C-alpha cells in the first residue's frame, strides 16, 4: 500500500475522475496545462526506521485526519497563467492527490482573494458565489469527495473511505455590509469564515494594517450571526486587537486555522502569545501553517517541516496539546510562484514585517496536501509522541472544537 492511502472501504477515489470531465476540455471550457498532484518535488526524507514508518502509516490510515486549512486545487504548471486560470472560474479539485493524502476532511478555502472572475482585486461577492457553485457542480459528478457540513459528515467520510470537503472563506470581505449574506453562504454549504484578510474590511482589521481598530460594531453583529448559524470563525489573518475582540465577542470557540507563534518567528503573520492563549482559553484550536516563508524559526530558518514543528512544540508548551492542530495551507502547484503572482493583491510582503529570510522554492516536507500528514505523523512518531497525542493533533482536537461550533 502506498504511503498515505486509506485501507478502509474501497471507494470512488480509484475511478480516475478529473474535474469537469463530464464536459469537453478545450471546447466547453478553457484548457490549461496543470501541475502534478503527486511527485512535483523530490520526496522528503525523515530519518525513521521501518517500525516507525509502519506506525505512522497505520495512524494516518486509521485516524480521523482533519486539515483546518488548505487549498486542495490544481494550479497551472506555468504560474504566469494563474490569473487567466482563475478568471475562467473553474479551479480544478485535486482528486488524485487527495486520494493519497490520508485526510478524512479538509477545510477548502476556495479562491478567496485570488478570485478574479469579474475583478482583478478579488473578494467580490459574485466571484465567491460563482466559485462555490462551480465547485459544488463538479463535486456532484463524482463519489469520492463529499461536501462536509457537519462532524457527522466527516465521520461518514471516515467510515466509507471517502473525503469530506468543507467549504470555507478566509475573510468575510465579500459580505460587505450585508449580515444576511452570512446566511446565504451557510445555505451554500460554507461552514468556516475568517473575519478579515490582510486588509481591513467592515468587520475589523487585517494583519497588514499599521493601526488595528479592532472589531467594528458590524463585526460584532457578524460574529453573533455566525454563532447563531453554527459557522466556525477564523482569525488567522486578522490583526491582534481584532483577534482578541473576536474571541471576547464570540459565544463559541474561535479558530486560528493557519498561523504560528510570533515568539518563534517575529512577523505580523504569526500570532503573539496573548492571542494564542486567549484562543485556547476560549476553547479554540491553533492550526499550524506551512505556506512558503511563514512559519520559519531561528533554529530552522530555511522553511521546512522542522521549522513548522518548532512552532508546534512552542504552541503545545504554551497552551497544551489539546488546543493544537494543523492547517498547512498548501495546494497542488508552485505555491511560491502563486505568491509572486498575487503579492500585491494579498499583501504578501507586508506580512513579513521587514524580517529577512532565505527564500526557498518549496517547503520541504509540507509542499502538497498529498504528502503533508504522513510526513507530520512520521515526525511526531520519531519525536516520541504517543498514539493518543498524535490522533488528537491530526484530527481529534479539530473534531472536538467543530462539534461545539457546528452543534453536530
pLDDT digits over 47-88, tens only?
Answer: 999 999 999 999 999 999 999 999 999 999 999 999 999 999
The pLDDT value given to residue 11:
45
In terms of Cα–Cα distance, which of 264, 245, 266 is closest to 254?
Answer: 245
Q: Look up cell 512544540; give the residue.
A: 313
The pLDDT value given to residue 215:
98
The pLDDT value given to residue 121:
82
For 373, the 3-state DSSP assignment is: helix
In the predicted structure, residue 98 carries a pLDDT above the cut 70: yes
The pLDDT value given to residue 10:
39
- What are the beta bridge partners of residue 256? 286
DSSP code string of 41-98: SPPPP----HHHHHHHHHHHHHS--EEEEE--EE-BSSGGGHHHHHHTT-PEE-HHHH
The burial of 257, by beta-carbon neighbours within 10 Å (0-12 exposed, 13-18 middle, 19 or more buried), is given as buried
What tens digit of pLDDT does each residue of 198-249 get? 899 999 999 889 899 999 999 999 999 999 999 999 999 999 999 999 999 9
Domain boundaries, the chain: 12-406
Percentage of the chain exceeding pLDDT 90: 87
Cα 392 from Cα 388, distance rounded (Å): 6
In terms of Cα–Cα distance, which of 182, 174, 82 is closest to 127?
Answer: 174
What tens digit of pLDDT does each residue of 109-149 get? 998 778 888 888 888 999 999 999 999 999 999 999 999 99
Contact partners, residue 342, CB within 8 Å, separation at least 6: 82, 113, 114, 348
Cα 176 from Cα 203, distance rounded (Å): 9
- Give, in degrees to the nearest 5, the angle at Cα 56 between 371 and 297: 60
In the predicted structure, residue 328 carries a pLDDT above the cut 80: yes
The pLDDT value given to residue 2:
37
What tens digit of pLDDT does each residue of 257-297 get? 999 999 999 999 999 999 999 999 999 999 999 999 999 99
Confidence bin at 352 (pLDDT 50/70/90): low
**Pseudo-torsion of CA 288, 293, 299, 302, nearest 10°?**
130
What tens digit of pLDDT does each residue of 64-74 get? 999 999 999 99
In the predicted structure, residue 5 carries a pLDDT above the cut 70: no
Side-chain-facing half-sphere of 41: CA atoms under 13 Å: 21
The pLDDT value given to residue 111:
84
The pLDDT value given to residue 345:
58
DSSP code string of 329-370: ---BS-HHHHHHHTHHHHTTTGGGTT------SS-BT-S-TT
Cα 297 from Cα 176, distance rounded (Å): 37
- What are the beta bridge partners of residue 286? 256, 324
Cα 400 from Cα 388, distance rounded (Å): 14
The pLDDT value given to residue 3:
37
Cα 103 from Cα 368, distance rounded (Å): 12
| 12-406 has CATH 3.20.20.140 classification | yes
Backbone torsions φ then ψ of 41, nearest 5 degrees:
-125, 165
In the predicted structure, residue 8 carries a pLDDT above the cut 50: no
Alpha carbon of residue 143 to chain centroid: 22
Q: Cα–Cα distances in Å, from 221 out to 199, 375, 394? A: 20, 41, 32
Sign of CA dihedral 14, 17, 18, 24: positive
Amino acid at each position: 500500500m502506498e504511503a498515505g492511502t486509506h485501507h478502509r472501504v474501497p471507494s470512488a477515489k480509484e475511478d480516475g475522475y478529473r474535474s469537469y470531465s463530464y464536459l469537453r476540455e478545450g471546447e466547453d471550457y478553457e484548457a490549461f496545462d496543470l501541475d502534478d498532484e503527486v511527485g512535483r518535488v523530490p520526496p522528503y526524507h525523515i530519518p525513521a526506521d521501518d517500525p516507525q514508518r509502519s506506525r505512522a502509516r497505520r495512524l494516518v490510515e486509521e485516524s480521523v485526519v482533519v486539515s483546518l486549512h488548505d487549498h486542495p486545487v490544481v494550479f497551472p504548471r506555468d504560474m504566469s497563467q494563474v490569473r487567466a486560470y482563475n478568471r475562467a472560474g473553474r479551479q480544478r479539485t485535486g482528486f488524485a492527490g487527495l486520494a493519497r493524502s490520508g485526510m478524512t476532511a479538509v477545510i477548502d478555502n476556495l479562491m478567496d482573494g485570488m478570485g478574479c472572475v469579474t475583478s482583478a482585486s478579488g473578494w467580490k461577492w459574485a466571484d465567491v458565489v460563482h466559485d462555490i457553485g462551480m465547485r459544488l457542480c463538479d463535486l456532484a459528478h463524482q463519489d469520492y469527495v463529499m461536501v462536509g457540513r457537519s462532524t457527522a459528515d466527516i465521520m461518514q467520510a471516515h467510515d466509507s473511505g471517502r473525503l469530506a470537503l468543507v467549504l470555507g472563506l478566509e475573510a468575510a470581505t465579500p459580505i460587505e455590509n450585508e449580515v444576511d449574506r452570512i446566511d446565504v453562504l451557510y445555505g451554500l454549504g460554507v461552514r468556516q469564515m475568517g473575519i478579515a484578510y490582510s486588509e481591513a474590511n467592515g468587520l475589523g482589521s487585517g494583519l497588514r494594517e499599521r493601526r488595528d481598530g479592532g472589531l467594528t460594531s458590524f463585526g460584532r453583529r457578524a460574529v453573533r450571526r455566525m454563532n447563531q448559524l453554527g459557522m466556525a470563525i477564523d482569525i488567522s489573518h486578522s490583526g491582534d486587537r481584532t483577534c482578541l475582540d473576536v474571541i471576547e465577542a464570540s459565544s463559541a470557540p474561535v479558530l486560528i486555522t493557519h498561523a504560528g507563534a510570533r515568539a518563534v518567528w517575529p512577523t505580523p503573520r504569526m500570532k503573539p502569545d496573548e492571542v494564542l492563549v486567549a484562543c485556547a482559553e476560549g476553547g479554540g484550536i491553533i492550526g499550524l501553517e506551512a505556506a512558503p516563508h511563514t512559519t520559519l524559526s531561528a533554529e530552522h530558518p530555511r522553511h521546512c517541516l522542522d521549522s513548522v514543528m518548532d512552532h508546534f512544540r512552542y504552541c503545545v508548551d504554551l497552551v497544551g496539546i489539546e488546543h493544537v492542530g494543523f492547517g498547512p495551507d498548501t495546494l497542488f502547484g508552485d505555491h511560491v510562484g502563486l505568491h509572486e503572482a498575487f503579492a500585491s493583491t494579498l499583501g504578501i510582503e507586508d506580512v513579513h514585517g521587514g524580517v529577512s529570510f532565505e527564500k526557498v522554492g518549496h517547503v520541504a516536507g509540507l509542499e502538497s496536501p498529498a504528502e503533508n500528514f504522513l510526513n507530520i505523523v512520521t515526525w511526531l512518531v520519531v519525536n516520541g509522541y504517543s498514539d493518543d497525542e498524535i490522533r488528537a493533533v491530526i484530527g481529534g482536537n479539530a473534531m472536538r472544537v467543530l462539534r461545539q461550533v457546528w452543534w453536530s
